[in-house]
Copies of this chain bind each other. A is one copy, B any other.
Amino acid sequence: MLEGISSLIIDLDGVVWLEGKPIKGAAEALRALEERGKRLAFLTNNSVVSRRDCIRRLKKMGIRTERVITSSYGAALWLKREGRARVYAIGERGLREELKLAGHELVGEREAERATHVVVGLDRRLNYQKLAAGMRAILAGAKFIATNRDCSFPTEGGLLPGAGAVVSFLEVAASKPPDVVIGKPEPFLLELALKELHSRPGETALIGDRMDTDVAAGKRMGLMTVLVLTGVSREPRGRQRPDLVVKNLSDLL
């Protein structure tokens, strides 16, 4: 099924695990793919988890890898191009951790107007004051970085608002779109993954559970696209179709 493909870029939520619990058969399938000589990288729009947490969780499943890219990690790397940034962040621990690890300075709500950049992810402790501080910082000239624009995310209790909703709030309040969106379907995270894999698009497959982010991003970059049905999207019916649809990762073997 994966002829001519040497590298796999694999989404995490809905593909490898679901709300943190490994999806049945995923670990075995990934190990088998590695044994067949595929190089693996993992990539997620999730801005809440830290890269270290993901590496640890994958290790528990028997997959040893450092090739894990989250949208928070991507945002921290993107900022490095701009030199050392003074960041007002709207997000959770995972985002703050990545920003600090990359050497950026974090400023609080009251100092938001001193920020050079506003970085926005999902924050389940979001409130009006945080949003107002982000708006003021953007109006004062800070660059506006969105970790991702996912509308929502699934939980056992149903859907919850995603980082994309927070980004839209600020976009309207400050009357300015983000200067950059890090997550899929934008190309930045995929470019990072290809670099880490030393792989070209034509020999790489993107495996994900969402048409709007995973498959869209893969198509845009010229990768083979594989949709798995263990997460958000069902069998696609629209015009845009992935190259391959499989029930789960085990079906790839």
**CB pair A158 B172 closer than 8 Å:** no
**CB pair B131 A128 closer than 8 Å:** no
- In chain A, residues 149-175, which have Cβ atoms closer than 8 Å to a Cβ of chain B? 151-152, 158-162, 164-175
Q: Copies of this chain, how many? A: 2
Q: How far is the CB of A166 from chain B (nearest CB, A)?
A: 7
User: Which B-chain residue is minimally distant from A158 (CB atoms)?
Assistant: B136
Q: How far is the CB of A120 from chain B (nearest CB, A)?
A: 12
Q: How far is the CA of A151 from the CA of B139 in the complex (A)?
A: 13
Q: Give chain B residues whose Cβ lies under 8 Å from the Cβ of A152.
A: 135, 173-175
Q: How far is the CA of A131 from the CA of B122 in the complex (A)?
A: 13
Among B136, B158, B169, contact of A159 (Cβ-Cβ < 8 Å): B136
**CB pair A128 B139 closer than 8 Å:** no
A244 at interface, CB cutoff 8 A: no
**CB pair A135 B123 closer than 8 Å:** no
Q: A125-B128, A126-B127 are in contact. Are A162 and B173 (CB under 8 A)?
A: yes
Identify 28 residue pairs between A and B in the complex whose beta-carbon atoms are under 8 Å apart, listed by A's number: A123-B128, A124-B128, A125-B127, A125-B128, A126-B127, A126-B128, A127-B127, A131-B161, A131-B165, A132-B160, A132-B161, A135-B152, A135-B159, A135-B160, A135-B161, A135-B165, A136-B158, A136-B159, A151-B172, A151-B173, A152-B173, A159-B173, A161-B169, A161-B172, A161-B173, A165-B169, A167-B172, A169-B169
